[in-house]
Structure 1
Amino acid sequence: MTQSKKIDILTIKYKVPIRYEEIGKFRGALLHEVGVEEDLFHNHKGDGFHYRYPLIQYKRIGGSAGLMILGEANRAMVGLSKTFGKSIRVGDRREVLEVDFMRSKTLTVRMGKKMFTYKLLNWMGLNSENYQHFQEIEDIEEKVAFLEQILCGQILAFCYGIDYDPPMQLKVEFLEIERDKVVPYKGQTMQAFDLIFRTNIFLPNHIGLGKGVSIGMGTVEEV
């Protein structure tokens, strides 16, 4: 097991203004131009769902549409570059896929004794299966411990998604749940949290954790 893992991260911001609720529409429009054969851009495999950590994440960056491309997904740039300058439909309007900026960097994901503190925004940690169990827990400390366990699993999913095998036990501790709210997701409403947590793994800024990662949910921010 390696102590660390280097990961290449490419961030692209387009000159395409979008609202938060339009990220999914932008994703669909870009997929249409790229083509379904570029499987890194979506989470479907044949007629089913491909359960894997999304290495291409659609974001809203400074009020505009953007992408965060991680690790091996950088090979998708060949197909993506063919879409530059094309006209797409976002909702009821057309936009041109003009790039505002592209930034590339290499970070090292590592785990050790040091604890790192992050903010987690619009985190949808609960699915249909664990939501009911969460509601049945009466003790507040037990509720928090349950959510910590879920987030721990999602961080491990990110690690395995970038081919990093953590060398020691992952630790996750909530410091503050700032907000418990309801957000729209795929035509329904879901419970989401804004919170601050610490963990013994260094995470790249702005990656996503939990449900809806591919459309900008569960964004990690350095504190």
Structure 2
Amino acid sequence: MTTLTQTLLPLTTITFPEIALRTRDAHKLRGYFGELFREHSPLLHNHYETDTDESPRYRYAYPLVQYKVLHRTPTLVGIREGATLLAQLFLRIRELDINGERFPVLSKHIRHEQAPLGISDELHRYRFETLWMALNQDNYRDYRNRSETERHAQLKRVLITQLLGLFREADLWLAPHERIMVHLSVEPHTTQFKNQTMMAFAGEFTANVVLPDGLGLGKSVARGFGAVRRLSS
């Protein structure tokens, strides 16, 4: 019997069920917590501090702490070191400040788990709970010049690449005989990002992978894009 490549990913999820925000407020959550706990870790705001007057360097890696608004509920998700950090800071979160509007935290929930991640011998369906920002500037130009069939194939390749990137972040490397198989069903939408109109996608996919609910795929997952949730079979 062949052993499939999987790991257990340390995962912490914090929700604030009595506070309702808009999906587009996720980046404001990121800004608030990045400033509130700036001294604790660059993981919270994805920048490394410098010892000079230079601007902070950006941390180009899969974000270990992600900020989302899922079904109007403010949600923080941390993996690996980010999971440990969120658990340590949980008791210190007493309010949210969103653009100067203060929301007292009357209740908050935390879930810390070892979540399975990796290749599966079964197919699982996932929905993008928030828009999936699949394309960067370069592959968006390619996307625009392709036929519908070619566009669909390109998006499948992009998704597989993003899944492999997530696996690498978890130190998970597939065996030579293992392949990710994806069936993708999405439709394009436009969204505002940093005062620009961007293309993103809504929909779902089926793949032979196990993913924890809430993790993001694609660009700008720290700001809430591309959050996935497994659907019942």
- Fold equivalence (TM over 0.5): yes
Identical pairs, percent: 25
Q: Which residue identity lines up with residue 69 of structure 1 in the other structure?
A: G
Query: Is 1:48 matched with 2:57?
Result: yes
Q: Structure 1 stretch 91-100 or stretch 59-68: which is displaced more?
A: 91-100
Corresponding pairs, count? 220
Query: Is 1:196 matched with 2:208?
Result: no
Write out the 4+ residue segments of structure 1 that deviate beyond 4 Å after TM superposition: none
- Check 1:99–1:152 CA distance in 2 against 1; reply closer, same or farther (3 A cut): same
* Deviation readout 1:135-167 (Å, 9 max, x if unpaired): 111x22211111111111111111111221223
The separation in 2 between residues aligned to 1:150 and 1:182, in whole angstroms, is: 18
- Scaled by the length of structure 2, what TM-score is found? 0.84
Greater strand share, structure number = 1
Query: Is 1:3 matched with 2:11?
Result: no
Deviation at 1:79, TM superposition (A): 5.4
Contact 1:174 1:195 in 2 (8 A): no
1:128 corresponds to which of 137, 158, 165 = 137
Contact 1:118 1:222 in 2 (8 A): yes
The separation in 2 between residues aligned to 1:13 and 1:125, in whole angstroms, is: 26
RMSD of equivalent CA atoms: 2.2
- Check 1:219–1:170 CA distance in 2 against 1; reply closer, same or farther (3 A cut): farther
- Scaled by the length of structure 1, what TM-score is found? 0.88
The separation in 2 between residues aligned to 1:35 and 1:28, in whole angstroms, is: 10
Contact 1:34 1:83 in 2 (8 A): no
Match of 2:92, SS state, is coil
Equivalences for residues 1-223 of structure 1 within 5 A: 3-14=5-16, 15-46=18-49, 47-77=56-86, 80-81=89-90, 83-85=92-94, 87-120=95-128, 121-137=130-146, 139-167=147-175, 168-177=177-186, 179-223=187-231
Structure 2 regions of 5+ residues with no counterpart? 50-55
The separation in 2 between residues aligned to 1:147 and 1:205, in whole angstroms, is: 21
